[in-house]
Every structure is written in C-alpha cells, then in structure tokens.
Amino acid sequence: MKRLIALLLLIPLADIVILFLVSQVIGWVATVALVVLTALIGMLLVRAEGRHTISRVERKLRTGEVPQDELVDGALLIASGVFFLTPGLVTDLTGLILVLPPTRYPVRLLAKRYVITPYLDGKTDGFVTGTIYTSGFPNQNQDNATYNLGDDEYSVKGDGSDK
C-alpha cells in the first residue's frame, strides 16, 4: 500500500517537472493549449470506447454470457477519463494507455490476475477461483487426519491402543 501511495504522489510530481520542461521549450501558452487539447482528444476517445464497450456488454448479456472483460474494460475507461481530466502530460499518457484497446488488453490481463481475482478470492474464501473446500476443514494438518491401526486393533482415542 505504501508503494501505491508513493506512486500516486510521484505522478503529480512528474507532471509538474515535465510541464515545466515543456513550457521552457514551447512556452506557457502552448503548454496549456497542449494539455487542454490532449484532454479533449482523450475524452473523445473515452466516449467512443465507452460506447463500444457498452455495446459489447449488451451483446454478451443477450447471449447469456458474463461480460467479465467488458466490465474490467469499463472500469479502466473510467480510470482513463479521470486521468484525462487531471491536467498534465503524464496523466494524459496514462489515460491514453488505458483508453486504446491494444494497450488496454495487457493492463486488463494484469489487473485481473494480480488485483481483481485475488481480491474477490479473499472476499469469497476461494469461490471465485474454485479453490473451495467441499469436505473437512481448510488448512487441516493431514498427518493427524488418518490412523494406521492393525486388523484387530480398536481405538477411540486414536493412539493405536485398545483402551
């Protein structure tokens, strides 16, 4: 969690540094115009991809399928919109990565593997991935679960004696 917070604090810092460097090269007015232009173009892309994603969700629901990938894409598009609305070139680049389908696909795979599935698995005690227990107790010590008794031995205590 500390790494995530550090990363979230580094993004605005990187935005400030890059905006300062770009403004030294092309000027403040052009830098502000560039930030506004990238935000506008990004929001148009988010809108178009959002419509496409909604149509894919509807198509899957009509056929009775669960729109897993489409829902993750929708969440990534919302995050992309937030990045585009935040002024800065680094956030706009991050938003662009999340809005374009060729670059969103690997992000979706990583999010499902390392964020979404472990979270849901923890909340449902393994039901999402199918690692649920149908009998016995989870994390049971298997060495104490069975007893080796002879053919004529009987033990209630499980220590192998006839008492």
Nearest to 46 by CA among 71, 68, 74: 74
Q: What is the pLDDT of residue 152?
A: 66
**Stretch 100-128: mean pLDDT:** 88
Share of the chain above pLDDT 90, in %: 60
Nearest to 35 by CA among 103, 99, 85: 85
State how far the Cα of 123 lies from the Cα of 125, in Å rounded to an integer. 6
When mean pLDDT is compared across 3-7, 20-24, 159-163, the lowest value belongs to 159-163
Q: Inform me whether the pLDDT recorded for 59 exceeds 90.
A: yes
When mean pLDDT is compared across 35-44, 51-60, 83-92, 119-128, the lowest value belongs to 119-128
Q: What is the pLDDT of residue 124?
A: 80
**Stretch 57-71: mean pLDDT:** 94
Q: What is the pLDDT of residue 125?
A: 77
Q: What is the pLDDT of residue 76?
A: 96
Nearest to 78 by CA among 117, 113, 57, 104: 104
Q: What is the pLDDT of residue 122?
A: 82
**Stretch 44-70: mean pLDDT:** 95
**Stretch 106-132: mean pLDDT:** 84
State how far the Cα of 43 lies from the Cα of 97, in Å rounded to an integer. 13
Domain ranges of the chain: 15-134
Q: What is the pLDDT of residue 6?
A: 85
Q: What's the angle, vertex CA 15, arms to CA 12 and CA 20, rounded to 5?
A: 130
State how far the Cα of 94 lies from the Cα of 88, in Å rounded to an integer. 10
Mean of pLDDT over the chain: 85
The reply to whether the predicted model has a pTM over 0.85 is no
